[in-house]
Amino acid sequence: MEFPVKTGNPAKVETACLVIPVYQEGELLPAAARLDDASERLIGQLLERGDFDARLGKVQMVPFAPGLGAERLLLVGLGKRDKCQEAAFRKALDAAFTALADLPLDDCAVAFTDVPLDERDAAWKARMVAEATHRALYRFNDFKSEKAPAPRLAQVTLLVSDDGDAADAREGARIGDAVGQGINAARTLGNLPGNVCTPSYLAERAEALGKASGGALQVEILDEEALEALGAHSLLSVGRGSEQPSRLIVMQYQGAENPEEAPHVLVGKGITFDTGGISLKPGEAMDEMKFDMCGAASVFGTVEAILAIRPKVNLVAIVAAAENMPDGRATKPGDIIRTLKGLSVEVLNTDAEGRLVLCDALTYAERFEPASVVDIATLTGACIIALGHHATGLLANDDDLALDLLDAGEAAWDRAWHLPLWDEYQEQLDSNFADLANIGGRPAGTITAACFLSRFADTFPWAHLDIAGTAWTSGKQKGASGRPVGLLTQYLLDREADAVVETGAETEAE
Ligand code: BES
Ligand code: MN
Ligand code: ZN
């Protein structure tokens, strides 16, 4: 997908389709006004006569536009001007690109950077355009015998009215293109069924990424034998009932000028199917537990975005992959296991398996002496009850890290909400027989799950993202969302910016 940036007169732009956002009332935005002038007031008249309803998310194709270089015009409703900020802007983008994806067009030119948003510049708007394009063009039909024709759109030109914004728009589109592709890569991994996307499949994907990276990504796979030798018995306990062997996948990207610079570590929950194990889940919607590796998928998607952007940061991406099945050999409620850290855990519920794979991965992360560790997991149904499907749950042992992640979520419009991780909650994990239990009862299930992880994250700044409510959509639109690839990529890009500021300060002091 190409996202060239053009300044100058939009009336002269030769394209299959001009995409023009318009408010429900009030003045036309700059590009729309110039097109209006050049086309015998085509847009103004459509609005005045009520022939185009510019409510938010409405679109209308105008098949013929006199005086313009474009073959057609797609009007996109922005709704009321005073209500049109980020959320509305994104809704309009989605409406526009959903419509464009179904049309037999190879290219279009969009004037979305014209839309004034209080806190956002042209780079942000361009990024959102590129992300929305990839989101709308995404298809997952590998398993359908009859495939609908693939969308044709291959070029989206960004029409920028203010020349001074062109460079920003270009950079924003570059980031959005990478993030959009990362999001779609995560969606595909998430959407793949459990009989295809197994722990070894994920390991193969990592190896393929490493090969394709031309040396930029180092990949190491720990198989069950290596995990046994290491002492990662907690991770291994989860896959014990499965025919599919567990894997710990480690991917390293060294982008910082100083290779010794402490890396940022991402840890993804990769339960490729979660039946609950012996604490078997009820049957309803159990198919959706193929999405229980969406944390891992978001780590893969972020690695892809980072490989495309190549920021100057060091990154270690770890995926803890296992399949949670009931079986004669499966872990049972009451079993006591020894974690890689050495703490013993009483497994009171085999369905609380995510924390059992993550705790060993967190301990493994220690060896990289990380600057920060962020784990991403579809960890608790309770998080859906607390936050629904809009916000990712965020818990951390370090308030600065929590703030950095909240900021990154705002910037990427992939938002998280901070929940408390107070000591008072820890005692819910007390066990009569081991160092701790793997469940903390019904109250504050998301927090006690994070409390469990925090016991394994005491030597570095750590945060946990519970994406149970945000990683996929159920119902008719069932499918993985690719969240929080946007947040994570932004978080890493911000760390690069931090490093630049720090080195700058040092040079000044010298
Ligand atoms: N993968 C699930 C969490 C989940 C459930 C995410 C539904 C999204 C939708 C996790 O492994 C799990 O089963 N958690 C249990 C924990 C409980 C046993 C303490 C849960 O949330 O019920
Ligand atoms: Mn479970
Ligand atoms: Zn799970």
Rounded Cα gap, residues 219 and 359, in angstroms? 21
Rounded Cα gap, residues 114 and 470, in angstroms? 30
Judge residue 204's burial from the number of C-beta atoms within 10 Å of its C-beta, 0-12 exposed, 13-18 middle, 19 or more buried.
Answer: middle
What one-character DSSP code corresponds to residue 78? -
Which one is catalytic: 355, 415, 455, 495?
A: 355
For ligand 1, is residue 438 a contact (CB within 6 Å)? no
Q: Give the confidence band of 504 by pLDDT, cuts at 50, 70, 90.
A: low
CATH number of the 5-162 domain: 3.40.220.10
Closest ligand to the CA of 466: 1
- What pLDDT is recorded for position 501? 76
Rounded Cα gap, residues 180 and 212, in angstroms? 19
Q: Give the confidence band of 338 by pLDDT, cuts at 50, 70, 90.
A: very high
For ligand 1, is residue 354 a contact (CB within 6 Å)? yes
Query: What is the average per-residue pLDDT within 124-143?
Result: 97
What is the three-class DSSP state of 312? Answer: coil
For ligand 1, is residue 378 a contact (CB within 6 Å)? yes
Express each pLDDT in 350-371 by its tens digit: 999 999 999 999 999 999 999 9
Which residue's alpha carbon is nearest to atom 16 within ligand 1?
Answer: 352
pLDDT at 65 over 90: no
Q: What is the pTM of this model?
A: 0.97
DSSP code string of 151-210: P---EEEEE-SSGGGHHHHHHHHHHHHHHHHHHHHHHHHHHS-TTTS-HHHHHHHHHHHH
Q: So where are the chain's domains? A: 5-162, 183-501
Q: Tell me what the pLDDT averaged over the chain comes to.
A: 97
Q: Give the confidence band of 505 by pLDDT, cuts at 50, 70, 90.
A: low
Question: What CATH fold (topology level) applies to the domain 183-501?
Answer: Aminopeptidase (3.40.630)
Ligand 1 centroid vs 381 CA: distance in angstroms? 5
Ligand 2 centroid vs 103 CA: distance in angstroms? 42
For ligand 1, is residue 286 a contact (CB within 6 Å)? no
- What pLDDT is recorded for position 497? 85
Query: What is the average per-residue pLDDT within 271-288?
Result: 98
Rounded Cα gap, residues 163 and 363, in angstroms? 51
Express each pLDDT in 148-181 by its tens digit: 889 999 999 999 999 999 999 999 999 999 999 9
For ligand 1, is residue 439 a contact (CB within 6 Å)? yes
Q: Give the confidence band of 508 by pLDDT, cuts at 50, 70, 90.
A: very low
Query: What is the average per-residue pLDDT within 240-247?
Result: 98
281 counts as catalytic = yes
- 430: Cβ–Cβ under 8 A, 6 or more apart, which residues? 436, 437
Which one is catalytic: 90, 281, 312, 338?
A: 281
What is the three-class DSSP state of 228? Answer: helix
Give the Cβ contact number of residue 315 at 10 Å. Answer: 25
Give the Cβ contact number of residue 42 at 10 Å. Answer: 20
